Amino acid sequence: MLKPEQRLGIQVIASAWLAVFCLFGYRATFSVLLDPMQEDLGWTVGQVSLGYSLMMTIYALTAFGSGIIIDRWGPRPAYAIGAVFGALGFFLTSQVQTYPAYLASYAIFAGIGTGMLWVSSTVSVRKWFVGPNYARMWGWAFMGAPVSQVILSLGVENILTTVDWRAAMQALSLVILGALLLATLLSKRAPEFYGIQPGGQQKTASATTWTLKQAFSSFAIWGAILAFFFSLVGEFLIWTQVVMFWVREIGLSLSTATSLYVLIGLSGIVLMPLMGVCADRIVARKEKEARGRKIMLIMAPLSGVLACLLLFTTRVSLLGGAISAILFTIYWAIEPGGVAGYAGAIFGRASLGKIWGLATLICMGLGPALGTFMGGFLYDISGTYFYSILFALVSFLLSAFFATLLPLSAKKT
């Protein structure tokens, strides 16, 4: 028989898993849908990619609001809003005929829907699990991302063999609605609300609170923002363009390219919890949790650098592309949750929602949009993806550089 705190913790992980599944469902399917959308609608790769870029901008603005919501009422309201707007994002986009309608439906509705999911899921897990327990538990929750990439990418590819991208989006809208309604029911507020501390310990003391002014007067949060921002630029460029790179640059079939893309998800099912365990072991060996999180934030983008280099070897062998996909998975398994873990180690849990929400607004409002746009733009003006991937590689290097500068503590001013 599970103890009440164990049962509640499992529900927190399950609800976060579903939220992450839906959030990354948008990312996973866009790369597969990009080519058929571009051909059917007659727009350039850059034009279609702009819709995703604007969606991520709205996502970032909404993320700040979701951080305030979770600090006050927990993730349940955020997940409920995400269910409605996330489903409408796919459904309304499936109906568009004009470019302005595409930008409005995909950017606004999908942006609000997905913006309610990332901060809510990461912060809810961090509020329940701290120290050497966090990364492992976040790894289980974050497993929803690669599962989404596998199931939804393959599902969309199969739909596209018989019907068009519009039908695929309509099916996705139903998936998003059902999964997020279930996440809403399973979600829980911070452990203090139930009289317990993270890890199931009885409540002993109130958590330290920070104002936004205090937090954003420290280099710790700005260092984390810079490290995360540059990693996001490289990450989103790769995620949104890599299938097109394999199809148009390397000459692979859409089916083969999608299979390589899905390998990121397949390996992630194993690597998400595994890298979480590795991160927690490093943290356990360090005097301060922040030191262990910092080490992982240096390692993650360096994996991205090596993955970018190996992408070019796909011209010679599919093995290079496969290894590159696995390295991108290692980056992916560490960076997003790791930077939230670092912020939690520095600022604690009580005010983490609004602090990480504002940081997410800055990072997500600029990084994904810039990466996605530059990936399509550099291809459109040069006719090759070489410069796009080089741009991503430099972005990962900058992320690693700023991670080396991260302090191990912050003082209120």
Ordered structural domains, the chain, with CATH: 4-190+208-404 (1.20.1250.20)
Q: What is the DSSP string of 89-116?
A: HHHHHTT--SHHHHHHIIIIIIHHHHHT
Banded pLDDT at 2 (limits 50, 70, 90): low
Return the pLDDT at 206.
44
pLDDT band at 46; cut points 50, 70, 90: confident
Look at residue 15 in the predicted model and tell me its pLDDT. 96
Average confidence score pLDDT of the chain: 87
* Pairwise pLDDT comparison (412 vs 402), residue with the higher score: 402
Tell which wins on pLDDT, 398 or 203.
398
| Residue ranges of E strands in 238-381 | none
pLDDT at 201: 45
pTM summary value: 0.78
Cα first-last separation, the chain: 47
How much is the pLDDT for 68?
A: 86
pLDDT the model gives residue 207 = 58
From the CA atom positions of the chain, what is the Rg in Å?
20
Q: Is 202 helix (H, G, I), strand (E, B) or coil?
A: strand
Mean pLDDT along residues 222-245: 91
Cβ-Cβ contacts under 8 Å for 6 (sequence gap 6 or more):
200
In Å, what is the CA distance from 330 to each residue of 66, 152, 264, 293, 320?
Answer: 27, 20, 9, 15, 15
Dihedral, CA of residue 364, residue 185, residue 83 and residue 358, to nearest 10: -20
Q: What is the pLDDT of residues 367-383, one digit of tens each?
A: 877 898 898 889 889 98
Q: Which residues pair with 196 in a beta bridge?
A: 202
pLDDT for position 342: 92
Average pLDDT, integer, range 56-69: 86
In angstroms, the CA 140 to CA 148 distance is: 13
